[in-house]
Structures are given as C-alpha cells and as structure tokens.
C-alpha cells in the first residue's frame, strides 16, 4: 500500500506520531476523494516517495495541520531545498505555512530571495476545519498562528460534524436557564446532590469509595472552583494534597521522577502508559496552565475544559491523584470562564463511570500509541528502567477532538438526564411527603424513608417494608403512599405533555 502526506512521512521517516484520524492512500481513482477514513489519491497527484517536502506540502494542503508530524519532518528538510521551493512559488500559502513552521522548529532563518510578501494573511489552521483561537500574526510569512496553545504546546480539535452539533446546542446556557427556573429550595438540594455524586463517582472511577472526610474535602474543592483563581504549581499541589489523604503520597511540587500506569500485570508488559519525563512534564504543565489561565476568547468553554482536563492527565504531573484532579479541572475551567452559574457543578463523573469503557477508550487512543515509543525494562518489584525512543512532539502536539466530543456528550447527559431526573425526584418527594403528612400523623423520619422507598420502587411499598414498619405505621398509610405516587406522577406526566 502506498501512502501520501502524513501517513507516508510517518511510515518512511520513522516519525514518532499517533496515527492520524484520516490517512491519504494512493488508489486507482481518477480524482481525489474521501472514502470513510481514507483520502483516496490518484497516482498522478501523489508526490514521489523520496520527496519529503512534496509530502509535507501535500499534507498541509489536503489533510490540514498536524504539528506532531511537521515538528519532526520539517527540520529534516535542508534550508536550500525549502528556500528554492519558496522562491519558485512565493504566492503559495502552503509553502508560507511550511516555511513559517520550519523556522520555528529549526530556530534558523530561510534566506529567501525577497523579504517582502504582499499576500493577505492566512490562518495556519483553517477555522472551518478546526476549533481555533483569535490568532497571532507573523508578519515575516504573513501567517496567523491560531492554534489552541502555542507553537511549543498545541492541541488540535477538529470541527467534526458531531462536535459542531453539540456546541450548537449551547449546553451550558441551557444548564444556566434550567437552574434559574428552579425554586431556591429545589436548586440548593439539587446542587448538594450534584456535588456529592460528582465526588463519589470521581473516586469510583479510581475504584475507591471515599470516606466521609475525603468526600467532604473533594466537595469543598469543587465549590472552590467558582472562586477566581489562576492555575499555578502551588495551587495544584494544594489540590493534590487535598484529594490524597496518605501523607507519604502528598506532593510538594510537580514530580521529579518518572511515573507510569499499570494494568496490574507483572513486569514491563503491565506498563500501559508512560507520561513525559519530569523535565518535559514541567515544561508542558507551564504551557497547559497558561492556556487555562489565558484562553483564546473565541474557544467554547466546553472545548477548553475538555482539553485542559485530558491534557493534565496525559502529562500526569504528580505521582498520585492525577485522575481526580483532571476531572476537577474540567469544572474549574468552566467556572473560571463564567460558564457555570448559580454554584452549579455538572455531575459528569456519573456519566464517565457509567460509560467507563468509552472513557478509557478516549484515554487509551493516546496512551496506548504513546507507550510504543518507550523501552521499559523490569528490574525488580515496582522498579523499572525507562528509555524514551520517540520525539517530544508526541506530547507537545496532540489531537483532542475525541476528548472534546466525549466530554460534550457527557455534559449533555449530565444536564438533560441526571440533573433533571434529580429535580423531578425531589419535586415528587416533596409533593408526596406533603400530601401524606397532611392526612396522617407519621414520625418525620419514618415518613421520609417511606417516601424514598416508594420513589425508588416506582410507586410500590414492598412487603418487606410493610413488615418493617408494621408496628409504627398504619397499614392504610402504605396504600395511601402508592395511590399518592400514582396521582403525583400522572399529574406531572400530564403537565410535561402539555409543555411539549
């Protein structure tokens, strides 16, 4: 099989890169077209196998910008070759982009024939194909860098049909409108439920059941997300200490040793992900924090929160607690952008836990491919030797499209299903409690529990519960509870149908 563009560069130049979502292949076609996840290219359009610059320009023109590959392919092109190509076609926007990136990645200057370029500025990332920022102009090449981050750390988010449709729903605005429509008492109890479940489910993803003290600390962290605070190392260390109760695992700074993730198997085969080395990790964290603290205004908060959250867990700056902190950062970024109002927290961890295989799949799409660029040698119990065979670009530039899509879907489900279901539950609870309390003299604690049992069992009081309360609650109360439930639920359903 003959590839073109990025796939060719990865295969022929031994470039360290995650396989692109769409690859270009030379096929028996008369014109270029997309077939599934493949760009079918006629042989006459494909550059020669040994034409590295030709494949770079083909990729930029037909596949977009992949900095992970370009950071490695462009420096391998000699300055005279790229200079001569530009001098021969100074009006080419694709050559201008290539030259702009070549100078950044090499730190050298192309000695072009003319210093003056008259063409209009061109964005590096096509805004129709990517989520982009407002951009910084480079007057030398008249190229606008409009990526998410900087040329030293940049996340790519493709404007897929699914992602655009989710963003067009304005989910966070809907969440604000929904919470503003709730009575204050229902809102406060819904928020208390959301904070507690976001905490419990975030721990459950790590296979932990938090103690009351742990849960309280994490709830307090989530509430702090609404307070204005920029991300920095000291703040993240404080957060890590708050979610990790073992004093021996509490950090004093970003990590200074290599960490890894394991699936529990013994030896090197059990190592499933190796984050960047400590020195690179610190550099990437500085870039990631800068992105979170000074985000491009044009970027949707959900996209920003998603890439900051996943970016944090890919860097893994601490020896422990990274997963919980990454999920906290999703809320922190949304709150700092003013996207969550009325003290709202989104119980997205419920969705992540319920869809854990999909969540892990999004993480593993990066981690499993990054793992292949590490040589891991087992020394003895919990002791490994790590040697990175790849390129820093693997961690500096990554595709966050699926991360953003997944978190937008999780947000939609958290709002439209879990938050709304809880408010319905509370409203029904209050109404059933009020009606039964009005007609019968039942101890508050008993009535509260029975109403909960009735709601949990879809309007039934089981024989077990009837026997349990037979000496404290009259038999007619059980029947009244079931009848009241039916009246409340049917009435609510009727109102919902009228609203539709």
Residue 107 pLDDT > 50: yes
Instruction: At 30, list the tokens.
Output: 């008369």
Residue of 202, 223, 196, 191 whose CA lies nearest to 325:
202
* pLDDT digits 0-9 by tens, 231-241: 999 999 999 99
pLDDT at 28: 86
Residue whose pair of structure tokens reads 């499209």 in the numeric block: 401
215 alpha-carbon distance from chain centroid = 23
Residue-range domain boundaries for the chain? 1-74, 78-146, 164-415, 440-499
Helix 322-336 and helix 278-293, axial crossing angle in degrees, nearest 10? 20
Buried b (16+ CB within 10 A) or exposed e, 232-251: eeeebbebbbbbbeeeeebb
Please state which CATH class domain 164-415 belongs to.
Answer: mainly alpha
- The Cα 490–Cα 267 span in angstroms is 59
Q: Is the dihedral of CA 330, 332, 335, 341 positive or negative?
A: positive
35's CB contacts (< 8 A; 6+ apart) are none
Residue 118 pLDDT > 70: yes
Confidence category of residue 392, pLDDT binned at 50, 70, 90? very high
* pLDDT digits 0-9 by tens, 461-478: 999 999 999 999 999 999
87's CB contacts (< 8 A; 6+ apart) are 112, 113, 114
- The Cα 136–Cα 134 span in angstroms is 7
pLDDT at 182: 94
* pLDDT digits 0-9 by tens, 127-174: 999 999 989 999 999 999 999 999 999 999 999 999 999 999 999 999
* pLDDT digits 0-9 by tens, 41-74: 899 889 999 999 999 999 999 999 999 999 999 9
Instruction: At 482, list the tokens.
Output: 């079931």
* pLDDT digits 0-9 by tens, 315-348: 999 999 999 999 999 999 999 999 998 899 999 9
Residue whose pair of structure tokens reads 């539950």 in the numeric block: 425
Please give the full DSSP string across 264-283, using - where no structure is assigned.
S-SSGGGEEE-PPPHHHHHH
β strands within 292-445, DSSP E: 374-380, 383-388, 397-399
């Amino acid at each position: 099989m003959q590839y073109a563009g990025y796939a060719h560069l990865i295969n022929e130049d031994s470039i360290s890169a995650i396989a692109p979502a769409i690859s270009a292949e030379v096929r028996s076609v008369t014109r270029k077209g997309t077939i599934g996840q493949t760009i079918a290219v006629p042989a006459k359009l494909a550059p020669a196998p040994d034409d590295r610059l030709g494949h770079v320009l083909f990729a930029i023109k037909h596949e977009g910008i992949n900095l992970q590959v370009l950071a490695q392919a462009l420096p391998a092109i000699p300055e005279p070759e790229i200079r001569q190509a530009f001098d021969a076609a100074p009006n080419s926007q694709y050559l201008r982009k290539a030259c702009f990136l070549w100078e950044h990645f090499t730190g050298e200057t192309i000695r072009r024939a003319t210093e003056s370029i008259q063409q209009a500025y061109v964005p590096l990332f096509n805004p129709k194909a990517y989520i982009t920022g407002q951009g910084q102009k480079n007057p030398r090449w008249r190229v606008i860098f409009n990526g998410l981050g900087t040329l030293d750390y940049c996340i790519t988010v493709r404007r897929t049909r699914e992602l655009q449709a989710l963003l067009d729903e304005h989910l966070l605005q809907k969440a604000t409108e929904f919470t503003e429509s709730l009575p204050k008492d229902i809102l406060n109890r819904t928020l208390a439920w959301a904070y507690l479940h976001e905490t419990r489910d975030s721990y459950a993803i790590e296979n932990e059941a938090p103690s009351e003290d742990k849960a309280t600390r994490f709830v307090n962290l989530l509430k702090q997300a609404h307070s204005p605070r920029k991300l920095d190392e000291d703040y993240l260390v404080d957060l890590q200490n708050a979610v990790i109760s073992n004093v021996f695992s509490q950090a004093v700074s970003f990590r200074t040793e290599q960490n890894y993730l394991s699936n529990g198997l013994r030896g090197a085969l059990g190592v499933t992900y190796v984050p960047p080395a400590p020195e690179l990790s610190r550099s990437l964290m500085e870039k990631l924090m800068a992105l979170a603290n000074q985000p491009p205004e044009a970027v949707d908060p959900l996209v920003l929160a998603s890439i900051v959250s996943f970016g944090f867990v890919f860097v893994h700056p601490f020896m422990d607690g990274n997963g919980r902190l990454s999920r906290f950062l999703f809320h922190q970024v949304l709150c700092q952008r003013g996207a969550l109002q009325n003290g709202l927290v989104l119980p997205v961890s419920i969705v992540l836990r319920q869809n854990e295989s999909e969540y892990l799949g999004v993480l593993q799409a990066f981690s499993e491919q990054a793992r292949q660029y590490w040589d891991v040698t087992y020394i003895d119990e919990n002791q490994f030797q790590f040697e990175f065979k790849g390129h820093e670009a693997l961690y500096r530039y990554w595709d966050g499209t699926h991360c953003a899509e997944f978190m937008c879907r999780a947000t939609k489900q958290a709002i439209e299903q879990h938050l709304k279901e809880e408010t319905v539950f509370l409203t029904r609870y209050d109404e059933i409690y009020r009606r039964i309390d009005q007609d019968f003299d039942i101890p508050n604690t008993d009535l509260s529990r029975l109403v909960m049992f009735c709601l949990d069992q879809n309007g039934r009081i089981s024989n077990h519960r009837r026997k349990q309360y037979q000496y404290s609650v009259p038999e007619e109360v059980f029947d009244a509870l079931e009848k009241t439930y039916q009246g409340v639920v049917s009435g609510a359903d009727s109102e919902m149908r009228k609203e539709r």
